[in-house]
């Protein structure tokens, strides 16, 4: 863990303090259990969908039902179960259409399994299959 910062220290400027805090947050985001640092580099749509599914809050039918916005929490894609984050990410038949390959959140967090190397004219690059999945899910 990084050293503790004292905002009252006269040796630390405002800009230096912001940089130090930013670096500390970046280090903390790499800790296992917070997406292992990879989620922050995803495209916005994938990040938003992942966070909504992981927290169960956002544009999910079960969440809207819980807060009283709608009467029916049924999944908009399959219509079989309540549309929770877990259902969308791990169970729904729509996920099979967009190539879901895991059955638990822990399986999904295993980067070694879901990072695939591909080659184009400029060389090799890595494709994150979890990011690709969440980019294709439409909660809209």
Higher pLDDT, 106 or 82: 82
**What domain count does the chain have?**
2
Same domain for 73 and 126, yes or no, is yes
Position 117 in a domain: yes
Spatial CA neighbour of 46 closest among 126, 134, 133: 134
pLDDT at 39: 59
Cα distance between residue 92 and residue 82, in whole Å:
10
Please state, for a pLDDT cut of 90, what percent of the chain lies above it. 18
pLDDT at 2: 46
Spatial CA neighbour of 54 closest among 93, 87, 94, 96: 87
Same domain for 36 and 71, yes or no, is no
List the structure tokens of 16. 């230096």
Q: Kindly report the number of other CB atoms within 10 A of residue 139's CB atom.
A: 18
pLDDT grade, residue 52 (50/70/90)? very high
Same domain for 30 and 95, yes or no, is no
Higher pLDDT, 24 or 5: 24
Same domain for 65 and 16, yes or no, is no
Same domain for 66 and 35, yes or no, is no
Range of the domain at 107: 43-136
Cα distance between residue 14 and residue 80, in whole Å:
54
Cα distance between residue 81 and residue 57, in whole Å:
17
> Region 77-86: what's the mean pLDDT?
91
């Amino acid at each position: 863990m990084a050293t503790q910062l004292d905002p009252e220290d006269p040796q630390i400027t405002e800009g230096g303090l912001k940089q130090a805090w930013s670096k500390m947050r970046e280090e903390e985001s790499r800790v296992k259990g917070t997406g292992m640092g990879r989620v922050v580099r995803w495209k916005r749509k994938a990040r938003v969908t992942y966070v909504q599914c992981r927290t169960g809050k956002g544009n999910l039918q079960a969440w809207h039902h819980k807060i009283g916005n709608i009467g029916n929490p049924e999944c908009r894609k399959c219509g079989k179960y309540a549309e929770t984050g877990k259902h969308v990410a791990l169970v729904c038949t729509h996920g099979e259409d967009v190539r879901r390959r895991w059955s638990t959140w822990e399986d999904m967090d295993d980067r070694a399994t879901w990072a695939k190397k591909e080659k184009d004219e400029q060389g090799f690059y890595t494709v994150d299959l979890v990011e690709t999945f969440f980019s294709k899910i439409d909660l809209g």
